[in-house]
Structure 1
Amino acid sequence: MCADKTILVTGGAGFLGSYLCESLLKAGNDVLCLDNFHTGSRKNIAHLLDDRRFELLRHDVTVPLVAEVDEIYNLACPASPIHYQLDPVQTVRTNVQGALNLLDLAVRGNAKIFQASTSEVYGDPHVHPQVEGYFGNVNPVGPRACYDEGKRCAETLFFDYHRQYGLDIRVVRIFNTYGPRMRADDGRVVSNFIVQALRGEPITIYGDGSQTRSFCYVDDLIRGFISLMDAPSTVPNPCNIGNPTEFTMRELATLVLELTGSKSQLVERPLPQDDPTQRRPDISRAKKYLDWEPAVELREGLAKTIAYFEADLTSGEDAPKARPLPAPVRARARSAALNKETV
């Protein structure tokens, strides 16, 4: 990684963003961490606040901003269904208007820009494993569309800015990622299973538990981010980053029970609408062009994540539940003049 750059990380106080800020600082860069704290937490970046090369800005990406930076990593958007469905309109705004604002910033400053996209752009796939050339099977009017289609539109904007303005873009499609600093209430399967097991509550499996996911430990994912950002501009985009080892939900629940020693029972619940039945990345592109593949096995990563949640739940510092931005804030975000106001 090249050092001594000024790098903007949006969503920098979130689960993934905080690890990215940490890695960029360790490499000797100045980091501007931007977050509106809708789902991010100051706790995630508290250990970075005394670093003279770290700056925290409370701001919403739907409001334009002015900054002089060399690189931009756009991670701003709630990533779990519970959170992004609380305010689906704001989720779309964050994905689309946020992308536009950051792309304009990159054009003005000739900055390289990175988009954290998602495997959800593949929807409930008919192609397995998912390759980057697959166009997906997404319901554009379902309850998940605010996130799925928002991310798809953001990708469109990134590639249009590349074609129209010659902008240097990098687009990663993230597959299921887990690790310490996940929120206990984020509704994603790894955190759900661990928290329920530690509390001795029934572990809720949606459907019959045969649907599959592939789980990438956060350290591996961040290494993939930086590898793509630092790669030559000739590397093809988008690029899947995830772990190609596939597990059923029932297998994951059984492993969590084993590692926690919990006596929780497995309870089946109806499968949510448009929930994918399969999810596994083809990472041939990342292997070929980035020399990247995951190194942390699920058992090892879960043990670290369980230890984090054990400490977090014992301390009583569970993160507060995310809530929609208040209407006045949303209105202010729509009408604020350039860099005049933050939320």
Structure 2
Amino acid sequence: MKILITGGAGFIGSHLAQLCLERGDEVYIIDDLSTGSMDNIRFLMEDDRYRNRLFVTIDTILNHEVMLELTGTCDWVFHLAAAVGVRLILEKPLESIRINIQGTEKVLELCNKFKKKVLIASTSEVYGKHLHAPLVETDNIIYGPSSKFRWSYAASKLMDEFTALAYYRTHDLKVIITRLFNTVGPRQTGAYGMVIPRFVTQALRNEPITVYGDGSQTRTFTYVKDVVSALVGLMEAENAAGEVFNVGGIEEIAIAELARRIVAMTGSTSVITLIPYEKAFGKDFEDMLRRVPSIEKIHRLIGYEPKTDLDEILRQVIQSIREKA
């Protein structure tokens, strides 16, 4: 199988590329390195087993000619390229909206031209400000006002979903949508607000662990290898096209408790410090107080269930960051 991964030098994309190469696939990566890094894939590029099956293009997915050739070459397309992370969205709102909406439009246009099966990586952010759990794929969407630019990311990814489903209904394009819930693991950076690598880095340096808000907001976390296995499983499935699937974990934890657990697991002397949202992100930010997925739909189709619990996720991230220090 020939596989194109947009954003393939990113955190999730690099793990997906590794899995596909281990399966024996031929892998094509395109990444502009705006949030991805060559460090994430260099070990794959230097591995003799993959030398003739891994091809990397450093460019934007908005480059029509490059994407035309790559899409025409491959059998499957995993579209992971996007502006990610709350901090990046707030700092570069126009660029983030543009790459998320126009980039996905370009991918879908070319996949439709060549009739290539495509998976669109969306996000749990699209659910908005729900307080109930678990979140089901058919739940309503609740956003804050447009003056709060924190919601621009969620709205742009929701527009990606609408566009993908329109291609499915209008052109019978085989497209699958996945809503990812807080994917974590080695190679993830805290630079764009990702909470676990940020907490772990602070703990290992014995610095104050900065918890935004009062720390009562809850999340579930999913190990990246469980996520990429699910993405491949959905592409292999017969009846996934035209559907939306949550991909997430099941262990809900408050962010303040997450910080305490990381302090204990690292043996850190860090103290936990609460930072008001407005001080951390400015006036454009609102938070989701709870984000827990229902995974019944994906479990019914491909038997997905997360294999890696939170403590093991934290051990893997701690070990990875320690090795880089």
* One-letter code aligned to 1:95: N
- Identify the residue that residue 281 of structure 2 maps to in structure 1: none
- Spell out the pairing of 1:101-116 with structure 2 (5 A cutoff): 101-116=106-121
Partner of 2:68 in structure 1? 66
Describe how 1:111-126 pairs up with structure 2 within 5 A: 111-126=116-131
Aligned counterparts, 1:199-210, within 5 A: 199-210=205-216
**Paired AA for residue 19 in structure 1:** H
Structure with greater helix share of residues: 2
The secondary structure found in structure 1 opposite 2:17 is helix
Counterpart in the other structure of 1:332: none
Once residues 209 and 84 of structure 1 are traced to their aligned partners in structure 2, the CA distance between those partners, rounded to angstroms, is 22
User: Match for 2:311 among 274, 282, 299?
Assistant: 299
Shift of 1:135: 2.2
Which residue in the other structure is 1:280 paired with? 292
1:196 to 196, 202, 206: 202
Q: Counterpart amino acid of 1:105?
A: L
Q: Is 1:41 matched up with 2:37?
A: yes
Contact 1:11 1:76 in 2 (8 A): yes
Distance 1:236 1:111, change over 3 A: closer
Residue 89 of structure 2: which of 77, 80, 84 is its match? 84
User: Matches of 1:89 and 1:35 in 2, distance apart?
Assistant: 19
Retained in 2: the 8 A contact 1:168–1:233? no
The match for 1:168 is 174
CA distance in 2, matches of 1:271, 1:210: 13
* Among candidates 97, 104, 117, match of residue 99 of structure 1: 104
Per-residue Cα deviation, 1:192-214 (whole angstroms, up to 9, x for no partner): 11011011111111122111000
2:5 to 6, 9, 32: 9
Deviation digits for residues 63-93 of structure 1 (CA, Å, limit 9, x no counterpart) = 3221221111000013211123222111111
- Aligned 8 A contact 1:36 1:60 in 2: yes
Aligned-residue identity in percent: 34
Counting only pairs closer than 5 Å after superposition, residues 223-262 of structure 1 correspond to structure 2 as 223-233=229-239, 237-262=243-268
User: Alignment partner of 1:78: what SS?
Assistant: coil
In the TM superposition, what is the alpha-carbon distance from 1:126 to its structure 2 partner? 4.0
Partner Cα distance (1:265, 1:250) in 2: 11
Report the Cα distance in structure 2 between the residues aligned to 1:63 and 1:96, rounded to whole angstroms: 14
SS of corresponding position for 1:72? strand
- State the alpha-carbon separation in 1 of the partners of residues 129 and 277 from structure 2: 13
Whether 1:289 aligns to 2:295 is no
2:135 matches 1:130: yes
* Structure 2 Cα separation of the partners of residues 36 and 84 of structure 1: 17
Higher mean C-alpha deviation, range 32-41 or range 182-191: 182-191
Aligned-pair distance for 1:143?
1.7
Q: CA deviation at 1:236?
A: 6.2
Give the aligned partner of residue 333 of structure 1: none
Tell me how far apart the structure 2 counterparts of residues 78 and 71 of structure 1 sit (CA, whole Å).
22
1:12 CA displacement: 0.3
Looking at structure 2, the residues matched to 28 and 169 of structure 1 have their Cα atoms a distance apart, in angstroms, of: 23
**Secondary structure, aligned partner of 1:115:** strand
In structure 2, list runs of 5 or more residues that go unmatched.
279-284
Q: Distance in 2 between matches of 1:116 and 1:81?
A: 17
**TM-score under structure 1 normalisation?**
0.87
Q: Distance in 2 between matches of 1:180 and 1:299?
A: 14
Q: Distance in 2 between matches of 1:56 and 1:138?
A: 37
Q: How much does 1:264 deviate? A: 0.4
Question: Secondary structure at 1:85's aligned position in 2?
Answer: helix
Q: Following the alignment from structure 2 to structure 1, what is the Cα–Cα distance between the partners of residues 122 and 145?
A: 17
State the SS of the aligned residue for 2:21. helix
In structure 2, the partner of 1:326 is none
CA distance in 2, matches of 1:136, 1:110: 30
Match of 1:211 among 195, 207, 217: 217
> Helix, strand or coil: the match of 2:91?
coil
CA distance in 1, matches of 2:193, 2:77: 28
Contact conserved, 2:183 with 2:222, CA < 8 A, in 1? yes
Q: What count of residue pairs does the alignment treat as equivalent?
A: 309
AA aligned opposite 2:35: T
Contact kept in structure 1, 2:132 and 2:290, CA below 8 Å? no
Q: Structure 2 length normalisation: TM-score?
A: 0.92
Query: Which amino acid in 1 is paired with 2:59?
Result: H
Offset of residue 105 of structure 1: 1.1
CA distance in 2, matches of 1:258, 1:39: 30
1:209-263 alpha-carbon deviations (Å, 9 max, x no partner): 1110001111111111111111113566100000021000111111100110001
The whole-number CA distance in structure 2 between the counterparts of 1:236 and 1:135 is: 18
Q: What value does the CA root-mean-square deviation take over the aligned residues?
A: 1.3
Unaligned 5+ segments in structure 1 are: 315-343
Q: CA deviation at 1:45?
A: 0.3
How far has the Cα of 1:31 moved from its partner? 0.8
Distance 2:192 2:294 in 1: 26
SS in 1 for 2:41: helix
User: Displacement of 1:112 after TM fit?
Assistant: 0.1
Cα distance 1:234–1:119, how it changes in 2: closer, same or farther (>3 A)?
closer
